[in-house]
Chain A
Amino acid sequence: MGDHHHGPAKGLKRWIFATNHKDIGTMYLWFSFAMFILGGSFAMIIRAELFQPGMQLIRPEFFNQMTTMHGLIMVFGAIMPSFVGLANWMIPMMIGAPDMALPRMNNWSFWILPPAFLLLASTLFMEGGGPAFGWTFYAPLSTTYAPPSVTFFIFGVHILGLSSIMGSINIVATVWNLRAPGMTWMKMPLFVWTWFITAYLLIAVMPVLAGLVTMMLMDIHFGTSFFSAAGGGDPVLFQHIFWFFGHPEVYIIILPAFGVVSQIIPTFARKPLFGYDSMVYATASIAFLSFIVWAHHMYTVGMPVSGELFFMYATMLIAVPTGVKVFNWISTMWRGSMTFETPMLFSIGFVVLFTIGGFTGLMLSIAPSDFQYHDSYFVVAHFHYVMVAGAVFSMTAAVYYWLPKWCGRMYNETMGKTHFWISFVGFNLAFFPQHFVGLAGMPRRIPDYALQFTDFNMMSSVGAFIYGGSQILFLYNVIATIVAGQPISDEKVWEGAEGLEWTVPTPAPFHTFAVPPQVK
């Protein structure tokens, strides 16, 4: 079997022909960071325009393209692939598997992503401009009134869906089939559990998204009337199908983040995770509930009252398992021997800020009050608290936490902590005021606003620039670590860490667990 214990190929071939889960994970992570920078620069343009009332820098059409592309790229290009990259790196190492179950398909799942985003980003330079209908691309804005580039957007989404479905099938097969002897279901690390459940969400809803954009394609090019009442269809049908995908999608984004935080907090509290079983059941409950709450995104669309009530109560129910999780994280920290390294800071930041985002979500779930909040900056503030302070903070924590394991070098702790505090302050400065302007009536997705919103918007823009700038520090720290960080060789990088990934050498060799370990 010696021929399989080869090292990586040389040069570009190593990456293009990769079948190794670590190499593919690395490519996902770098790709998602590149997308994070691209989507982030769109956000900077948005905030620069909104720094003052009136039109200063860009035209309203371009502003709409920026909000649309910012959302699409951050959701599909930055956050989702970053967690897939993490799954690729960590799941085999956490369950004692030699690789992902289907390595060649794994390579394909990654390599169709860059061209898909090239297709998507190139629409900005096409005649009629890029998609300008918001990341939720409601019909008829995205059908009857869409620019011709919408066709490229549609096919781009098809490719992304294909990538996600293949990636999730791979994760499901890996977790089902490649666990080391003794790694029973209820011994799996929580990150593996959350990804396992997320993979099912993806397999269930990405095909629905594919069906939806296919209906758009038919409406645009072949004269069908799915989203046109003139032919007996309904634009609201679009919203129902979109959110049937879209609501599980937000859990697809946040569940792996829950998993990351559930790995990190026990390490730095030096205590086992409190309520492991309840964490697993809570994750599964959230996943189930995510399928029956979609219409809480559409309270104002004119649904029957019975529908409003059903979706309102079902949505509130999600607060229960989510509350269980927050309670468990806090209980894990309770009386622990805590230290506050960068991953822990980002994790605690996650718990605090995600909880704020969860509470505003609860406010939004109340149908009668949502009529006031709907499509206002309050919604923008809410979902940035869960997307940025939730998903992105936990992803950042994950990078700091596992980077030493990946490359065998320690990052600069002072710079890491500085990154956290600048991020934390910048983020809150950017998004907390948006609650206020939203409640006061400032609508989202608008390039200009009434004068009374000026102060809060200026604060918001300054905060966004600070948060955006702090990512350069992050990039610098990561590169400096990889190139010239302090070499370390302890298998356990963090003294409180538990799990199989900490039993392999540091840096993690190209192949790990060619022979499965015995888990007791």
Chain B
Amino acid sequence: MSTQDSTGHEEYYVPESSGMAISATIGLVLSIFGAANVLNDMTFGEPGAETNSWTIFIVGLFWFAATLFVWFRTTIRENRAGMNSAQLKKSYVLGMFWFIFSEVMFFFCFFGALFYVRVLVGPWLAGEGEGGTMNYLLWEGFDYSWPMMQTPQEAVGGAGAQLIANNGDFVSPHTSMAFGEVEHWWHWLPMWNTLLLLSSSVTVHIAHLGLLANNRSKFNIWLGISVLLALGFLYLQYMEYHEAYVLYGLTLDSGIYGSTFFMLTGFHGFHVAMGMTMLLIQWLRSIRGGHFTADDHFGFEASSWYWHFVDVVWVMLFLLVYIL
């Protein structure tokens, strides 16, 4: 309630006590407890044993999603009822900005791991540099190349590999995700995905321009196109994973190449799905509720920031995972 008091200062809206946080906690904790049990059943449990882990996980997830729905709905309604002062809106802007920064650091972690493995660990395992003694002590016969098409375990082979502490058999792929033959360039999915995602960033921007010009149909159309492009990206990524597992033998078990590949592209894909959901919700809000005006549309703007962030991460991925 952005009312002014007698001294001319704006009062800050402090919400009433709220049950949403505790409900979100219950949902989150249930789903995580369930997920941990699902994983432990899978890895350490007796095969075929009956457990409730999946049920707990799914109930928790739905509970959590429902709470978030109510929470966002409340926030949107408060804003539409004019309860948010300019100052509070700035708090939301700051919150979103630094949240995206934390996401940047999350990806930084995996890119850092990729850098360390490719630039330092690989050569060391192959006997180069100051860490090179590892090669003749443990991994004799291992040659390093990236993408790694033969794991150190396979290079040593047989009984030698069993002596060394590891958590499984790492079977390398026979084909990598790198660019293949020039004459079949259009088969290369990452290129199409790059095109899709880059153009979706442009279409989101066009939608924003439409909103700023009070052009509702332009906003709706271009935002809708962005969501479709995102959907296309996810479909192609699904195809790509299918190819990797079925045709290339590239899996999570394929040594560090598969590990980094699936971790980076997988988390990116998950973020694309999140961003797409956010854009979709903004689209529905505009279509069904006529939400957003030229000067008050932070729900959309936050989603578009997130979308541009996802796009930038993809460009990094495309360069560092697929091309270089």
Contact = CB atoms under 8 A, between A and B. Distances in A.
Interface of A: 1, 4, 9, 13-14, 16-20, 97-99, 101-105, 107-108, 111-112, 115-116, 119, 140, 143-145, 148, 151-152, 154-155, 158-159, 165, 168-170, 172-174, 176-178, 181, 203-208, 210-212, 214-215, 217-226, 228-234, 236-237, 240-241, 244, 302, 304-305, 511, 514-516
B130 A172 contact: no
Nearest to B3: A1
A145 B166 CA distance: 9
Nearest to A140: B165
A224 B113 contact: no
Contacts of A4: 1, 11, 14
Given A223-B167, A225-B151, A203 B98 contact: yes
The 8 lowest CB-CB distance pairs between A and B, nearest first, are A211-B109, A232-B256, A231-B170, A230-B166, A224-B259, A108-B21, A207-B106, A17-B17
Interface of B is mostly: helix
Contact of B16 (A19, A220, A241): A19
Contact of A229 (B14, B90, B139, B259): B139
Given A223-B253, A230-B166, A231-B256, 7 more contacts: A1-B3, A105-B21, A108-B21, A225-B168, A225-B170, A226-B259, A232-B148
Interface stretch (B23-31, B196-204, B286-294): B23-31
A144 B165 contact: yes
Contacts of B153: 230-231
Contact of B257 (A145, A152, A210, A232): A232
B14 A19 contact: yes
B116 A144 contact: no
Interface of B: 1, 3, 5, 7, 9, 11-12, 14-22, 24-25, 28-29, 32-33, 35-36, 39-40, 42-44, 71, 87-88, 90-92, 94-95, 98-99, 101-103, 105-106, 108-110, 112-113, 116-117, 121-122, 124-125, 129-131, 134, 138-139, 148, 151-153, 161, 164-168, 170, 251-260, 262-263
Contact of B32 (A18, A158, A165, A240): A158
A218 B5 contact: no
B301 to A, nearest CB: 16
B40 A112 contact: no
Contacts of A98: 11-12, 14
A159 B226 CA distance: 32
Given A169-B95, A208-B109, A237-B116, A16 B20 contact: no
A152 B40 CA distance: 9
Contact of A112 (B25, B108, B109, B161): B25
A241 B130 contact: no
Interface centre among A1, A14, A108, A304 (most CB of B within 10 A): A108
A224 B261 CA distance: 11
Given A101-B94, A159-B28, A224 B9 contact: no
B14 A173 contact: no
Given A234-B121, A304-B129, A224 B252 contact: yes
A153 to B, nearest CB: 9
A207 B109 contact: yes
Given A208-B105, A228-B166, A229-B164, A155 B3 contact: no
Given A104-B20, A151-B39, A208 B108 contact: yes
Contacts of B33: 119, 155
A342 B294 CA distance: 57
A229 B134 contact: yes
Contacts of B29: 112, 115-116, 119, 159
B25 A228 contact: no
Nearest to B130: A304
Nearest to A211: B109
Contacts of B103: 207
Contacts of A173: 91, 94-95, 98
Nearest to B1: A1
19 contacts: A17-B18, A115-B25, A140-B167, A144-B165, A158-B32, A177-B91, A178-B87, A206-B102, A207-B106, A223-B251, A224-B252, A224-B258, A225-B256, A228-B170, A229-B121, A230-B164, A232-B170, A302-B131, A515-B5
A514 B11 contact: yes
B241 to A, nearest CB: 14
A115 B21 CA distance: 13
B96 to A, nearest CB: 9
B170 A515 contact: no
Given A103-B14, A304-B130, A231 B152 contact: yes
Interface centre among B1, B7, B36, B257 (most CB of A within 10 A): B36
Contacts of A99: 12, 14
B15 A103 contact: yes
Contact of B17 (A14, A112, A154, A516): A14
A211 B19 CA distance: 30
A232 B252 contact: no
A107 B95 contact: no
B87 A104 contact: no
Contacts of A236: 121
A97 B259 CA distance: 47
A208 B106 contact: yes
A236 B120 CA distance: 11
